[in-house]
């Protein structure tokens, strides 16, 4: 609930201006609730108009992407890049290609990214972009032509010192390769303008694994500090079967847990013996197939149509790793009824506000997305460092830095939660810790 007058006033203004962007409003409201004790303690933020400024992107770029399909027909999509906040570094955040992409979705993701990037301790501002292009069912050549058309416009607005995009839903190694190639061709410049690049052309080891591994490092540390517990012997439910879900599954299993589900937008598989991550990699990373095929290949595994059933599977820990608002109140109640004690978010904003209220009411350990999934952008930041140094660190070096960043995010979140009177609250702590650094930089840099 918003009770602070300053916070309420700014939120009302956001509602008035952006009332047609429900995901953005949801993200702002969640953050603003947490920031009330912060602005009460720091009246200088109101004087400097920090909240009014932080909800307004520095720049929104929206453009036509015209490309030709394999039949020779012209297709037109919309492209977006929201350059949200550059107070602590160049804009940084992924590109999402999905039919549900619109300005409000990109703004919610970009807004979250500001605080997430701040939490990583690395110098990165917040940005996000993408298109309503749907790569499902498209040939490689079509994806390449789309990526080239997209970058032909985007390349005017980005650069290694201004804005460094990465991947997100449906933007993986293949797409980043095509986007990088087109940037290099047009700008005649070989620089670290994108992260998530192939290892042959400036990518970082462990970037592919980073978000999923990071979610598990975060969860393990929060479990250790707050409950004196670990992944060992736990049953874990994971949604999604993309980049984040696959590597969260792999790491949770390495840490001694049994992951029993993965899903895609059609349905989920339940494997009581534990998900075989190599089978998921083969289906999703190599064949670009559907998760249903897992049950056809692994004896004893079941496939169920529909996404929300995954939350009815009994578990100790749930790691949502698919998309926004995938857990509503009913699904959260199903999780609690199934014995779940921990929810840490691999996807961005996977829990509705009502679902979060259910976690809080039932005393679950809740790790919010901007903290729990910050490992991806953290290793993107490390990729930028390696590109600047013109050298590559080993997998173990990057992995060790990732682990230490995730542990520091837990520590900083808990420190801030305590400072603002909400001891143990990882959500309030993440929002407060991420915000204060950005707010101080904004105040120091004057009215921009
Ligand atoms: P991928 O494209 O690799 O995988 C996405 C997965 O989620 C797929 O299994 C997909 O199923 C499923 N999915 C997508 N949209 C929906 C939907 N509307 N309903 C149900 N399932 C859906 O993306 P990532 O793994 O990279 O991203 C997953 C989440 O993690 C996103 O919220 C993203 O923003 C977040 N994230 C990603 C980071 C990264 O480094 N990649 C970093 C931080 C956060 P299907 O194949 O059927 O579409």
**H or E element, residue 30:** helix 22-41
**Which of 112, 169, 249, 263 for mutating ligand 1's site (highest number of atoms within 8 Å of CB)?**
169
Q: Rounded to whole angstroms, how far apart are CA atoms 151 and 181?
A: 9
| The model's pTM | 0.97
For residue 377, the model assigns a pLDDT of 98
Q: Average pLDDT of 168-177?
A: 97
User: Residue 341 contacts by C-beta under 8 Å, 6 or more apart in sequence?
Assistant: 316, 317, 364, 365
Is 209-363 in the same CATH topology as 1-56+426-447? no
- From the alpha carbon of 96, which atom of ligand 1 is closest? 34
Work out the mean pLDDT of the chain and round it to a whole number. Answer: 98
For the question of residue 16 being annotated catalytic, the response is no
Is 3.40.50.720 the CATH classification of the domain at 209-363?
A: yes
Structure tokens that stand for 53 in this block: 């400024």
323 has binding-site annotation: no
- From the alpha carbon of 376, which atom of ligand 1 is closest? 40
Q: Note the pLDDT tens digit of each residue in 389-398.
A: 999 999 999 9
For residue 99, the model assigns a pLDDT of 98
For residue 39, the model assigns a pLDDT of 98
Q: Average pLDDT of 354-370?
A: 98
CA-based nearest residue to 91, from 435, 298, 381: 381
Structure tokens that stand for 70 in this block: 């394999």
Crossing angle (nearest 10°) for helices 329-337 and 353-361: 30
Q: Average pLDDT of 419-448?
A: 98
Annotated catalytic residue: which of 107, 128, 197, 258? Answer: 128
Q: How far is the CA of 322 from the centre of ligand 1 (A)?
A: 4
For residue 124, the model assigns a pLDDT of 98
167 has binding-site annotation: yes
Q: Average pLDDT of 262-270?
A: 98
Q: How far is the CA of 323 from the centre of ligand 1 (A)?
A: 5
Phi, psi of 302 (to 5 degrees): -115, 145
For residue 100, the model assigns a pLDDT of 98
- From the alpha carbon of 166, which atom of ligand 1 is closest? 40
Q: Note the pLDDT tens digit of each residue in 37-84.
A: 999 999 999 999 999 999 999 999 999 999 999 999 999 999 999 999
At which residue do the structure tokens 């990882």 appear? 426
211 has binding-site annotation: yes
| DSSP-derived 3-state class of residue 19 | coil
| pLDDT band at residue 140 under the 50/70/90 scheme | very high
Q: Which residues pair with 77 in a beta bridge?
A: 65
**Which of 264, 280, 281 for mutating ligand 1's site (highest number of atoms within 8 Å of CB)?**
264
Q: Note the pLDDT tens digit of each residue in 180-223.
A: 999 999 999 999 999 999 999 999 999 999 999 999 999 999 99
| pLDDT band at residue 254 under the 50/70/90 scheme | very high
For residue 206, the model assigns a pLDDT of 98
Q: Average pLDDT of 273-282?
A: 98
- Give the DSSP per-residue string, 328-351: -HHHHHHHHHTT--EEE-SSSS-B
Q: Is the Cβ–Cβ distance between 370 and 116 less than 8 Å?
A: yes
For residue 368, the model assigns a pLDDT of 98
Q: Rounded to whole angstroms, how far apart are CA atoms 308 and 305?
A: 9
Structure tokens that stand for 314 in this block: 């009994």
The CATH architecture of the domain made up of 59-187 is 3-Layer(aba) Sandwich (3.40)
For residue 223, the model assigns a pLDDT of 98
Q: Is the Cβ–Cβ distance between 32 and 42 less than 8 Å?
A: no
Structure tokens that stand for 96 in this block: 């999402």
Domain limits, the chain: 1-56+426-447, 59-187, 209-363
Crossing angle (nearest 10°) for helices 243-254 and 207-227: 50
From 3.20.20.120, 3.30.365.10, 1.10.285.10, 3.40.50.720, which CATH number describes the 1-56+426-447 domain? Answer: 1.10.285.10
CA atoms within 13 A on the CB side of 421: 7
Q: Average pLDDT of 288-307?
A: 97
Pocket around ligand 1 at a 6 A CB cut-off: 167-170, 211, 240-245, 264-266, 307, 321-323, 346-348, 373, 376
| pLDDT band at residue 290 under the 50/70/90 scheme | very high
User: Residue 438 contacts by C-beta under 8 Å, 6 or more apart in sequence?
Assistant: 54, 85, 87, 88, 114, 115, 118
For residue 274, the model assigns a pLDDT of 98
């Amino acid at each position: 609930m918003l009770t602070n007058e300053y916070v309420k006033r700014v939120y009302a203004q956001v509602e008035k201006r952006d009332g047609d962007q429900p995901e953005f409003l949801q993200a702002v409201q969640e953050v603003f609730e947490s920031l009330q004790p912060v602005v009460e303690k720091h009246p200088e933020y109101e004087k400097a108009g920090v909240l009014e400024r932080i909800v307004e992107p520095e720049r929104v770029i929206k453009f036509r992407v015209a490309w030709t399909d394999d039949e020779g027909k012209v297709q037109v999509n919309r492209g977006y890049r929201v350059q949200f906040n550059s107070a602590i570094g160049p804009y940084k955040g992924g590109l999402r290609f999905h039919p549900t992409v619109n300005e409000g979705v990109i703004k919610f993701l970009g807004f979250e990214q500001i605080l997430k990037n701040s939490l990583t301790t690395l110098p990165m501002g917040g940005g996000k972009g993408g298109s309503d292009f749907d790569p499902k069912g498209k040939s490689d050549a079509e994806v390449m032509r789309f990526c080239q058309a997209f970058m032909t416009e985007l390349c005017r607005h980005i650069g290694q010192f201004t804005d460094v995009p990465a991947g997100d839903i449906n933007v993986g190694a293949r797409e980043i390769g095509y986007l990088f190639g087109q940037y290099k061709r047009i700008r005649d410049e070989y620089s670290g303008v994108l992260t998530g690049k192939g290892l042959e052309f400036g990518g970082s080891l462990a970037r592919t694994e980073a978000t999923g591994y990071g979610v598990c490092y975060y969860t393990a540390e929060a479990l250790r500090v707050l409950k004196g517990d670990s992944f060992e012997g736990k049953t874990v439910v994971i949604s999604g079967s993309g980049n984040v879900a696959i590597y969260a599954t792999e790491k949770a299993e390495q840490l001694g847990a049994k992951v029993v589900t993965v899903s895609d937008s059609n349905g989920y598989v339940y494997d009581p013996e534990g998900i075989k991550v190599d089978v998921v990699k083969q289906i999703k990373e190599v064949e670009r197939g559907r998760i249903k095929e897992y049950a056809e290949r692994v004896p004893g595994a079941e496939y169920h149509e529909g996404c929300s059933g995954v939350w009815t599977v009994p578990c100790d820990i749930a790691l949502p790793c698919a998309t926004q608002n995938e857990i509503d109140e009913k699904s959260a109640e199903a999780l609690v009824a199934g014995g779940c004690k921990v929810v840490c978010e691999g996807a961005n904003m996977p829990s509705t506000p009502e679902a979060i209220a259910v976690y809080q009411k039932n005393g679950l350990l809740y790790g919010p997305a901007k903290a729990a999934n910050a490992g991806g952008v953290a290793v993107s930041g490390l990729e930028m460092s390696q590109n600047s140094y013109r050298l590559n660190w080993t997998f173990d070096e990057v992995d060790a830095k990732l682990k230490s960043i995730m542990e520091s995010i837990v520590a900083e979140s808990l420190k801030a939660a305590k400072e603002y009177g909400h001891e143990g609250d990882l959500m309030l702590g993440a929002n407060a810790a991420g915000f204060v650094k950005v707010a101080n930089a904004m105040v120091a840099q004057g009215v921009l």
